[in-house]
Amino acid sequence: MKFQIFKNGRVVDKFALCGAYLFGGDGTGIRRAQITFKNGFIECERPNLETAGLALLWPIDGFGRVLLPTTCLPERQRPYNLNVEIARAKLMQIVNKREDWFFFNSVEDLGNICKEAQDLFIRAIQNISEPPLASKLADESLKKAIVYSEKLAIKQTESLFETRSKSHGFGRGCLGCRIDPMQIDDPVYVEKLLELFGSVTIPINWAQIESHKGSFDFSTVDACIDALAERKLALAAGPLLCFSKKYLPKWLLRNGAGFEKIRETAYQFVSKVVTRYSSVVHTWYAVSGLNVFNHFGFRFEQILELTRAANMAVKQGSDRALKIIEISNPWGEYYATTSNTIPPLVYMDMVVQSGINFDALGLQMRFGKNQSGMHVRDMMQISAILDCFGSIAKPLYITNVGVPSRDGAGLHDGKVAGIWHGEWDQSQQGQWIEQFYKIAFSKPFVSSVTYSSFADTKNSVIANSGLLTGRLEPKESFRTLKKLHDTIFGR
Reported as a single tens digit per residue, the pLDDT across 254-303 is 988 899 999 999 999 999 999 999 999 999 999 999 999 999 999 999 99
104: pLDDT confidence band, cut at 50, 70 and 90?
low
- Quickly state the pLDDT bin for 182 (edges 50, 70, 90): very high
pLDDT at residue 491 tops 80: no
pLDDT over threshold 80, residue 109: no
What is the distance between the alpha carbons of residues 244 and 328, in angstroms, rounded to a whole number? 12
| Closest-CA residue to 82 (of 109, 97, 60, 62) | 60
- Residue 136 CA: distances (Å) to CA of 65, 109, 121, 123, 238: 17, 26, 10, 10, 49
d(CA 36, CA 257): 40
Distance from C-alpha of 93 to C-alpha of 389, rounded to nearest angstrom: 17
pLDDT at 322: 97
Q: Mean per-residue pLDDT for 233-245?
A: 96
Q: Who contacts 483 (Cβ-Cβ below 8 Å, separation ≥6)?
A: none
Q: What is the model's pLDDT at position 260?
A: 96
Q: Give the pLDDT band of residue 65 (cuts 50, 70, 90).
A: very high
pLDDT of 160 above 70? yes
Give the model's pLDDT for residue 4. Answer: 98
- In the chain, % of residues over pLDDT 70: 99
Residue 64 pLDDT > 70, yes or no?
Answer: yes
Question: What CA–CA distance (Å, rounded) separates 185 from 283?
Answer: 23
Q: How confident is the model at residue 33 (pLDDT cuts 50, 70, 90)?
A: very high
Q: Are strands 419-420 and 64-69 parallel, antiparallel or unpaired?
A: antiparallel
Domains of the chain: 2-161 (no CATH), 162-489 (3.20.20.80)
| Mean pLDDT score, 24-31 | 92
Work out the pLDDT band at 107, boundaries 50, 70, 90: low
Confidence of residue 220 (pLDDT cuts 50, 70, 90): very high
**In Å, what is the CA distance from 42 to each residue of 2, 64, 93, 192, 242?**
6, 21, 23, 49, 36
Residue 108 is predicted with a pLDDT of 63
Q: What's residue 172's pLDDT?
A: 86
- Give yes or no for a contact between 325 and 349, defined as CB atoms under 8 angstroms apart: no
Per-residue pLDDT, averaged over 376-387, amounts to 97
- Residue pLDDT, tens place only, 452-466: 999 999 989 999 999
CA distance 288 to 319: 20
Residues 406, 425: contact at Cβ < 8 Å?
Answer: yes
Confidence of residue 101 (pLDDT cuts 50, 70, 90): confident
**β-pair partners for 140:** none
Contact 379, 153 (CB under 8 A): yes
Whether residue 106 has pLDDT greater than 80: no
| Chain mean pLDDT for the chain | 95
pLDDT of residue 105: 62
- Range with the poorest average pLDDT among 249-258, 366-375, 434-443: 249-258
Whether the per-residue pLDDT at 166 is higher than 90: the answer is no
Kindly indicate the confidence band of residue 122, based on its pLDDT and cuts at 50, 70 and 90: very high
Residue 446 has pLDDT above 60, yes or no: yes
Cα angle, residue 292 at apex, residues 382 and 437 outer, rounded to 5°: 25
Is residue 77 scored above 70 in pLDDT? Answer: yes
Average pLDDT estimate for 326-333: 96
pLDDT in tens, 415-428: 999 999 999 999 99
